Structure 1
């Protein structure tokens, strides 16, 4: 007697569209209910508008080293051969083991592993029974400058030795935005995959074939709506997809009005930007940041982490009539958004129309 064990599926348009998404994959698992037990594994990415991008699915017997290794291996074989990917997950032992297995295809430098900050913070709260420690850890995790991270870590160490002992067991590179080197584009949680899991919440009671078909129809609709949005964007001639990227750039441009720019080497495009208090509520001002246009760096570290120009870079652009476009990662531009959702789904043929 044949017994169902596992099934993996990924749709062609998702495979093609992922080539234009951020090199980030969020993975998560959720239990199936009803007559058919098991676990639904979901892999998602993030598009140019910082929205969830459905990538691959699987139904397995449960979350363990074998199932996660198989799922990630299927993604590597059937979905993407991109190098430099960053996989964001919780700290499930099965995921950690799979990511460290060279045979699966996600070991460094082909891929990197990052832990969901929200999961670590939640586990820390349970470990030390303190909401304050949870919040202090999250604040430290999101720091973009070394000095500020060190200050936050000192506060945690002074407030709770037990919390510090728990935190330092996890490498900084796997949860600290400052240590990330720009691999996760500022995305520090698995919220994207969990969001798509919630979309499929009602499907967890369905038979396997019905579950697969439901994901097909939902992902097709998802593509159709965003394809129409990208076409409207193209008609307007927008360089960046609204609202997320556009809002970030507009916000940074507004801040740039209060910055003072001094050129230190026009030939090498090295500038110093001094922030001023201006009219912004809570603004301190007086900070100095070095902007290097050749190396695409700013002392604030934001362009490296978020792949978008910070207010200091935009202040230089305005002062010297330079374009901010080279500072915007290609995967965050409108062309990438259009290419992501350009692939077409085709309807599933009725059984009576199938050819032998």
Structure 2
């Protein structure tokens, strides 16, 4: 080391031996500031969802660097590292407007809306990426499954997902929302933005849990759409309320059957119970849960499982600051669109893999059926102890399955085989591999690093602050939330 204002150098030698007495040694290292430790451990947080607790930090720092530190310092170091890698929770809200602009420029047709409180504080957000919207409108069965779940970042809130099923029975994400909580006002806002994205869709349907905010707002924003309830939630409610496995089994049979006779038999048995379970289900609304009575097509979407699965996929990213979370969602869509497009290219069958398997199982049943013509369009099919009539012109069967699913039932397959008709001609376009490829034909493009985000000339930045009120969700509130499902 050179001495100040001279050409003389002073040489020092470090001797790694403490000369202080043991009673004055401090177990904590003052030079190991929390930001220094945070820099050392930041690589531990690069994987979303990795658990790295203060106790782990204390142990690693002791083993790797011989540093003893307090739990409080380890906690501060973890927060520091978390912020370095994933972004500051407060600043994340201020990035949303720019991120939304960049996303819209990178992916044409993307809808990105944000609602502010007092022109400064974040309130609601809606995001639907362009390729997802166009794929839904052109290639996806028009049934939207919605569900909400809690975010776990510093400012909490709730995530609303709107998803569908593609022709291969895979989750097809349509739209995402972030709100303070599921209320009439927040769900109304979300659905209005969704309608702005998809417009008026013929034969549209929704499937949700039993929250009243969903029922009221769907009826308000999409008055011509039917609204079905998740039969899994209703089954759980029946189990909790009446604790009777027989009722649950009868309800299962009644809710999922295509036939009036099967429904009537199960329904009479439910009404015969003296515990008012029939009244409960009637008050819920039979058209809301019975596939036979449904005023529209639910296809095979009887539960909200696909929305809950989407929430489960996003379980770990829900810890992230909001802008990082949205970017994680975008990256997930980018990967799904690429992978499913590549998988679809390899398929050589007319239908998707899932639809082909469904028809193969029905084909096995159809082999034992006898077909008798009635006229050029209608056919009488004998199926063991049942007899059905198929109308190929209207693509209907008296078993109701053909018209409900828009996939031929076993009776229709038997007629197609007997009349030498291509069975694929009886399938809705949704189930073809060509339609599946079209649903994922567009790429979902990345927005790049924050320094590379593009904006239009008209873009004017506004400072956006975190929500005014942080809604802390405890076990009691989660329990109450589950009750209204």
Q: For residues 116-154 of structure 1, what are the alpha-carbon distances to aligned partners after superposition, in whole Å with 9 as ceiling and x for unaligned? A: 111111112222232332232122101111011000011
Rg larger for: 2
Question: What is the rounded CA distance, in whole Å, between the counterparts of 1:305 and 1:355 in structure 2?
Answer: 46
Q: Name 2:158's counterpart in structure 1.
A: 39
User: What is the CA-CA distance between 1:57 and the residue it aligns to?
Assistant: 0.5
Cα gap change, 1:146 to 1:252, in 2 (>3 Å): same
Q: Does 1:180 align with 2:180?
A: no
Q: Does 1:107 align with 2:223?
A: yes
Q: Does 1:22 align with 2:136?
A: no
Give the match's secondary structure for 1:178: coil
Q: 2:173 aligns with which of 48, 54, 59?
A: 54
Q: Does 1:241 align with 2:241?
A: no
Cα gap change, 1:3 to 1:319, in 2 (>3 Å): same
Question: What is the rounded CA distance, in whole Å, between the counterparts of 1:160 and 1:116 in structure 2?
Answer: 25
Q: 1:128 aligns with which of 242, 247, 250?
A: 242
Q: Does 1:329 align with 2:428?
A: yes
Cα gap change, 1:43 to 1:355, in 2 (>3 Å): closer
Aligned partners of 2:366 and 2:413 also within 8 Å: yes
Q: Does 1:141 align with 2:141?
A: no
Cα gap change, 1:355 to 1:287, in 2 (>3 Å): closer
Give the match's secondary structure for 1:100: helix
Gaps (5+ residues) in structure 2? 1-117, 456-485
Cα gap change, 1:173 to 1:326, in 2 (>3 Å): farther
Q: Name 2:306's counterpart in structure 1.
A: 192
Q: 1:169 aligns with which of 280, 283, 302?
A: 283
Give the match's secondary structure for 1:252: helix
Aligned partners of 1:47 and 1:337 also within 8 Å: yes
User: What is the CA-CA distance between 1:161 and the residue it aligns to?
Assistant: 3.9
Q: Does 1:309 align with 2:408?
A: yes
Aligned partners of 1:10 and 1:79 also within 8 Å: no
Give the match's secondary structure for 2:316: helix
Gaps (5+ residues) in structure 1? 276-284
Question: What is the rounded CA distance, in whole Å, between the counterparts of 1:353 and 1:50 in structure 2?
Answer: 37
Aligned partners of 1:33 and 1:204 also within 8 Å: yes
Question: What is the rounded CA distance, in whole Å, between the counterparts of 1:184 and 1:311 in structure 2?
Answer: 19
Aligned partners of 1:14 and 1:54 also within 8 Å: yes
Aligned partners of 2:161 and 2:311 also within 8 Å: yes
User: What is the CA-CA distance between 1:70 and the residue it aligns to?
Assistant: 0.7
Question: What is the rounded CA distance, in whole Å, between the counterparts of 1:97 and 1:334 in structure 2?
Answer: 37
Q: Name 2:213's counterpart in structure 1.
A: 94
Q: Name 1:154's counterpart in structure 2.
A: 268
Name the stretch that deviates more: 37-46 or 164-173: 164-173
Tell me the TM-score normalised to structure 2 length. Answer: 0.67
Report matched runs for 1:256-295 at 5 Å: 256-265=366-375, 267=376, 269-275=377-383, 285-295=384-394
Question: What is the rounded CA distance, in whole Å, between the counterparts of 1:125 and 1:84 in structure 2?
Answer: 33
Q: 1:85 aligns with which of 195, 199, 204?
A: 204
Tell me the TM-score normalised to structure 1 length. Answer: 0.91
